[in-house]
């Protein structure tokens, strides 16, 4: 069976995390298609459960005016329900400053294609 985790799906997931209303209810609604309620994220040495991730994304969304995402590499192993992605994200913050990131994501997803675990490494490029 083919995985629904495609380039477009991952890009939509990244946009759902970073843009939109900072309301916790809106974030949960937007993430519903992409992540399991059992979702765990590790980034910068910090592990966050679903609730903690929603809290963090509220601040991210509040500070993001616009986002331009380019998926550079995506490898999906449907059998093992895992993926690796490398992308750039150019963010225009609320203070109108542009920041560009290069990001590596390593994820695991369930039978529905919803992420249950995500490991993120990011490096500011400019």
Q: Tokens 């992308």, residue? A: 87
Token pair for 116: 């249950």
Low-confidence ranges of the chain (pLDDT < 70): 1-2
50 contacts: CB under 8 Å, gap ≥ 6: 35, 36, 37, 38, 39, 40
Structure confidence at residue 2 (pLDDT): 60
**Integer Cα distance of 126 and 86 in angstroms:** 17
Q: What is the DSSP string of 1-19?
A: ---S--HHHHHHHHHHHHS
Structure confidence at residue 126 (pLDDT): 83
Provide the CA 87 distance to its chain's centre, in angstroms.
11
| Domains of the chain listed by start with CATH number | 7-124 (3.10.450.50)
Structure confidence at residue 3 (pLDDT): 79
């Amino acid at each position: 069976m083919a995985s629904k985790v495609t380039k477009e799906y991952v890009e939509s997931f990244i946009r759902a995390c970073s843009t939109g209303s900072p309301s916790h209810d809106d974030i949960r609604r937007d993430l519903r298609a992409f992540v399991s309620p059992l979702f765990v994220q590790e980034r910068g040495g910090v592990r966050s459960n679903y609730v903690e991730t929603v809290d963090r994304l509220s601040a991210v969304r509040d500070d993001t005016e616009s986002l331009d995402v380019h998926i550079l590499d995506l490898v999906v192993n449907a059998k093992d329900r895992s993926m690796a992605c490398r992308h750039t994200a150019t963010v225009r913050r609320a203070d109108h400053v542009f920041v560009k990131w290069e990001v590596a994501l390593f994820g695991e997803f369930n039978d529905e294609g919803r992420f249950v675990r995500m490991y993120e490494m990011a490096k500011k490029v400019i």
